[in-house]
Amino acid sequence: MPFENVVAVHSVTVFRVCRAVVGPADADDAWSETFLSALRTYPELPDNANVEAWLVTIAHRKAIDIVRHYKRIDSSSDVAVEASANVSMSDSTKRELWDSIRSLPDRQRHAVAYHYLGGLPYVEVAKIIGGTTDAARRAAADGIQNLRKTFIPVESKGA
């Protein structure tokens, strides 16, 4: 498959994963470094490889380099709000969700991003974050549970 088709098919998914893992300010850099690195080694990728898992694995490695910076981002800055495409959420709701995502332990944030946004089965998630498949499943479930507790949309507060 020409690499152009790989980009066309996986562009959005990798973008979502990058945003969730490194945050809105560095997502473009993470996406760019992921696909440039992927292009470099693409000819050696076996035909039967899971391309999505391969890309998310590269994105994960790139994210590790970038994520320390993410921890320092002021989520109330306009970057977090303006970089978000969705118009149905209020700015304060966006900020609150970014705060919740950022507060997750790394393993939980990674597991949530790779399973729920990357669409990878837990067996692939486990290969990327380490540990067993069950542990990956628990990390994702704990991550979602933590988001449920900490992310209360402003609109529904006091309802």
The contact set with another protein (CB under 8 A) reads 1-4, 7, 11-12, 15-17, 19-20, 28, 31-32, 35-36, 39-40, 42-43, 83-86, 88-89, 93-94, 97-98, 101, 112, 116-117, 144, 147-149, 151-153, 156, 159
Q: How far is the CB of 146 from another protein (least distance, A)?
A: 10
Residue 143 and residue 112: Cα distance in Å, rounded?
Answer: 6
| Residue 57 or 146 having the CB closest to another protein | 146
Q: How far is the CB of 121 from another protein (least distance, A)?
A: 16
Residue 143 and residue 147: Cα distance in Å, rounded?
Answer: 6
SS (H, E, C) 11-29: HHHHHHHHHHHHCCCCHHH
Q: How far is the CB of 84 from another protein (least distance, A)?
A: 6
Q: Please, are residues 100 and 150 in contact by the beta-carbon 8 Å criterion?
A: yes
| Residue 131 or 151 having the CB closest to another protein | 151
Task: Give the position of tokens 């067996």.
Answer: 123
Q: How far is the CB of 85 from another protein (least distance, A)?
A: 4
Q: Please, are residues 56 and 14 in contact by the beta-carbon 8 Å criterion?
A: yes
Looking at residue 130, the DSSP 8-state letter turns out to be -
| Residue 53 or 115 having the CB closest to another protein | 115
Q: How far is the CB of 126 from another protein (least distance, A)?
A: 20
| Residue 3 or 105 having the CB closest to another protein | 3
Q: Give the Å distances, CA to CA, from 151 to 96, 97, 99.
A: 6, 6, 8
